[in-house]
């Protein structure tokens, strides 16, 4: 018995939801005499959770460049972004149509050299520098927490 077209569409939709969608994120950092490595986190627009600047792939841009652009748009940061990711984590993103998709975020360290006084999403998000160990406590995703701790040199539990 042949599957009809609606069965095929249904299977495709399930498969699409099961495959994580790619995103690229910057892990903004700087050195502080007092706290050592500090990490900048921003709040998400919808849930107001602490996250790193991240976004969808950009046509014609390499992943690390897309991550740097997100850091500029979401936190006003400019600096030196690494070309290779230091890790990845997954999270559930709620889309505008109330559907959730799993996203896999590749994380690229960004040595922050300058933070602008204004940037495109300044009025939509909070941005704050945290000592690495405190930044790790602020994020919800365990794998992102581990990336921050490993990068910041803090001991793991």
Give the CB-side neighbour count of residue 109, counting CA atoms within 13 A: 18
Residues of the chain with pLDDT > 90: what percent?
Answer: 75
pLDDT of amino acid 97:
82
CB 38 within 8 A of CB 30: yes
Distance CA 145, CA 140 (A): 8
User: Which tokens in the block code for residue 55?
Assistant: 């976004």
Which burial class, exposed, middle or buried, applies to 68 when counting CB atoms under 10 A from its CB (0-12, 13-18, 19+)? Answer: buried
Distance CA 109, CA 19 (A): 25
Q: Which fold has domain 18-152?
A: Nucleoside Triphosphate Pyrophosphohydrolase (3.90.79)
Distance CA 26, CA 111 (A): 10
Spell out the domain ranges in the chain: 18-152
Query: Residues 9-29: pLDDT tens digits?
Result: 344 344 455 789 999 999 999
Query: Residues 81-96: pLDDT tens digits?
Result: 999 999 999 999 888 8
47: helix, coil or strand?
coil
- Across 42-57, b (16+ Cβ under 10 Å) vs e yields bbbeeeeebbbbbbee
User: Which tokens in the block code for residue 132?
Assistant: 């690495």
Distance CA 128, CA 63 (A): 24
């Amino acid at each position: 018995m042949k599957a009809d077209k609606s069965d095929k569409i249904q299977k495709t939709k399930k498969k699409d939801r099961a495959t994580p969608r790619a995103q690229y994120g910057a892990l903004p950092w700087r050195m502080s005499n007092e706290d050592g490595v500090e990490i900048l986190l921003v709040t998400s627009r919808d849930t107001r959770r602490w996250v790193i600047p991240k976004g969808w792939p950009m046509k014609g841009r390499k992943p690390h460049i897309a991550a740097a652009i997100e850091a500029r748009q979401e936190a006003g940061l400019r600096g030196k972004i690494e070309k290779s990711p230091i890790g990845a984590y997954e999270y559930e993103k709620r889309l505008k149509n109330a559907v959730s998709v799993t996203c896999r975020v590749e994380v690229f360290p960004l040595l922050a050299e300058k933070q602008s006084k204004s940037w495109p999403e300044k009025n939509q998000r909070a941005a704050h520098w945290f000592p690495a160990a405190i930044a790790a406590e602020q994020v919800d995703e365990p794998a992102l927490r581990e990336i921050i701790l490993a990068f910041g040199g803090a001991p793991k539990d």
